[in-house]
């Protein structure tokens, strides 16, 4: 009898009263008669705790992966908006916001880094800026390189330079031709002949 009283007092000390009552309610008093019900319940509670822990860990991993994907998507969008390629995007501001020489300086920096495709793109932006600044065309969304070409008189050095620039850039920018230093040098000489000192 004393042994049972000690066992009951040990159970009472290790378990809150509300939990003991809930267990008795769930298992209809079988838990208070012997330790078998408590052992089974302890195992079930442990399994439930591990399941909750696994769900929380899975949720954390999912949120981290989602955040990484969102960051990569934003970076790709930002990078794409920095490029101007006909058919892939439009400029958000007129090229004439910067003087043509600013584009030329950027093209030279990019060419020195070996980024010839981007350097040729900057030369095109410089030609667009020059064309707008001398009043040959007014910037509006949707203009193409050929619109800038048509803005100049037939046979003028500027139209000839535009023709050459477009001819070099189109297979590189819209095709699969890799840009080389020769492509850049050809574009630079045409740009200088048509726009640098005009």
Q: What is the pLDDT of residues 6-39, one digit of tens each?
A: 555 554 556 778 777 777 776 665 444 555 555 6
The pTM for the full model equals 0.53
Look up residue 182 and give its two tokens.
Answer: 């020769």
The b-or-e profile of 35-71 (16+ CB within 10 A means b, else e) is eebbeeeeeeeeeeeeeeeeeeeeeeeeeeeeeeeee
Quick: pLDDT tens for 147-188. 888 888 888 888 888 888 888 888 888 877 888 889 999 989
């Amino acid at each position: 009898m004393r042994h049972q009283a000690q066992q009951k007092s040990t159970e009472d000390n290790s378990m809150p009263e509300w939990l003991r009552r809930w267990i008795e309610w769930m298992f209809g008093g079988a838990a208070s008669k012997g330790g078998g019900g408590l052992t089974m319940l302890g195992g079930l509670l442990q399994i439930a705790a591990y399941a909750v822990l696994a769900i929380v860990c899975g949720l954390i991993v999912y949120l981290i992966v989602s955040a990484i994907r969102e960051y990569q998507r934003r970076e790709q969008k930002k990078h794409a908006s920095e490029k101007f390629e006909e058919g892939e995007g439009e400029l958000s501001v007129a090229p004439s916001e910067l003087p043509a020489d600013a584009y030329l300086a950027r093209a030279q920096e990019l060419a020195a880094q070996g980024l010839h495709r981007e350097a040729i793109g900057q030369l095109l932006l410089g030609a667009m800026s020059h064309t707008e600044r001398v009043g040959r065309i007014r910037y509006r969304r949707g203009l193409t390189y050929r619109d800038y070409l048509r803005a100049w008189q037939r046979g003028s050095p500027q139209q000839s330079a535009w023709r050459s620039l477009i001819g070099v850039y189109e297979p590189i920018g819209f095709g699969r031709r890799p840009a080389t230093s020769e492509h850049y040098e050809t574009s630079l000489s045409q740009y200088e002949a048509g726009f640098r000192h005009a």
